[in-house]
């Protein structure tokens, strides 16, 4: 059966902090995984960008498992935005973007933002000179923030 890859932004409630949630998630549902970003806020809420790899049924079961534990799952596309009017297509971000979600169109000389490839790592938000790439913070505010801030 062919494998699929889902990139998820996860918010862990304080109640599950200290529990091996990701470990159990991949073990119970027989998934492969890749942690792209993780941090804990002062409120002890954990944030993680996680790739899970498996067939569709396994991925769906994994997401159900997370929801049952109270983990909030947000699609990556809702976490990173480009302010189109601000982008000057300088191309700086294309050198840094690890997933090639930002890439130069050689015909138009414009930088494309391919949301479906974005892992929400946040690197572009700290690099962009005009702050065109913005990340949704814990307060629901869109802003350019430094990686690891």
Residues that bind ligand SF4 (CB under 6 A): 80, 82, 87-93, 96-99, 101-102, 111, 118-124, 128, 130, 132-133
Strand partners of residue 34: 51
Number of helical (H) and strand (E) elements in the chain, helices listed first: 4, 9
Nearest to ligand SF4 of 48, 123 (CB atom): 123
Q: How far is the CB of 46 from ligand SF4 (least distance, A)?
A: 19
Which residues pair with residue 143 across a beta bridge?
Answer: 135
Q: Which is nearer to ligand SF4, 15 or 110 (CB)?
A: 110
Q: How far is the CB of 99 from ligand SF4 (least distance, A)?
A: 4
Residue 52 bridge partners (DSSP): 6, 33
Cβ partners under 8 Å of residue 64, min gap 6: none
Instruction: Output the smallest distance, CB 69 to ligand SF4, in A.
Output: 26
């Amino acid at each position: 059966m062919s494998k699929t890859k889902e990139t998820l932004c996860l918010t862990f409630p304080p109640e599950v902090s200290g529990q091996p949630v990701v470990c159990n998630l991949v073990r119970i549902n027989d998934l492969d995984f890749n942690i792209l970003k993780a941090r804990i806020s002062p409120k002890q809420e954990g944030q993680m960008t996680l790739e899970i790899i498996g067939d569709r049924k396994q991925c769906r079961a994994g997401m159900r498992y997370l929801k049952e534990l109270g983990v909030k799952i947000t699609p990556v596309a809702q976490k990173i935005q480009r302010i189109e009017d601000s982008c000057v297509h300088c191309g700086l971000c294309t050198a840094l973007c690890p997933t090639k979600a930002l890439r130069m169109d050689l015909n138009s000389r414009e930088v494309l933002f391919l949301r479906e490839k974005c892992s929400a790592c946040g690197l572009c938000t700290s690099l962009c000179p005009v702050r065109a790439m913005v990340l949704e913070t814990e307060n629901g505010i869109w802003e350019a923030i430094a990686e690891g801030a």
